[in-house]
Each structure stands twice: as C-alpha cells, then as structure tokens.
C-alpha cells in the first residue's frame, strides 16, 4: 500500500518516490515521458541533491517521471546519459 501523498505544482501532479533521500522539488527539472522506466539516480554520480517523482503533466495529462536536481550541471549530465529501457 502506498503511503506517499501526491501534491501539485504549477506544472505537475507529483507522487514522491519512497526511495528519495531529499524529499523536495529542486529548481532544475527533467520530465521523462516514460512512466515505467527504471531510473537509478545514484548511478549517475550527481554532485548535488536530487529527487524523483512519478508525475502527471497538467498541461496535457501525460504520465511520466520528474527528476528534479539542485545543480544545472547535474541536469545536463542526466539528459546526456539517460536512455529509457
């Protein structure tokens, strides 16, 4: 049974991952339109804090995942290395 509650931002309805170490939405965000892709953020060796959410994009109802990152360089690293499975 899921115990995490959803919350809305201006752009997304978010469902926090129970594996998040940092339970907050950071400034740099990447929407991944693959709701079932396995995203192992520690394997990207990011320098700053990060969090992962299941997400529904409010503008079009598209389901996916939202990766939020503290640092712009981590956003670039994630975008360059992410390959959906």
Closest CA relative to residue 38, chosen from 65, 77, 4: 65
**Averaged pLDDT, 10-16:** 95
Nearest 5°: the CA angle 29, 32, 36 is: 135
What's the pLDDT score for residue 1?
A: 41
- pLDDT tens digits for range 30-63: 999 999 999 999 999 999 999 999 999 999 999 9
Give me the DSSP letters along 15-62. EE-TT-SS-S--SEEEEES-TT----GGGG--SS-EEEEEEEETTT--
Asked whether 25 and 68 are in contact (CB, 8 A), the reply is yes
pTM over 0.85: yes
pLDDT at 71 over 50: yes
Q: What percent of the chain has pLDDT over 90?
A: 85
């Amino acid at each position: 049974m899921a115990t995490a509650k959803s919350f809305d931002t201006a752009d997304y309805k978010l469902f926090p991952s129970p594996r998040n170490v940092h339970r907050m939405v950071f400034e740099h965000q990447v929407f991944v339109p693959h709701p079932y892709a396995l995203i192992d953020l520690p394997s990207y060796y990011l320098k700053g804090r990060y969090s992962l959410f299941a997400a529904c994009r409010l503008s079009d109802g598209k389901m996916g995942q939202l990766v939020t990152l503290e640092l712009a360089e981590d956003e670039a690293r994630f975008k360059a290395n992410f390959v959906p499975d």
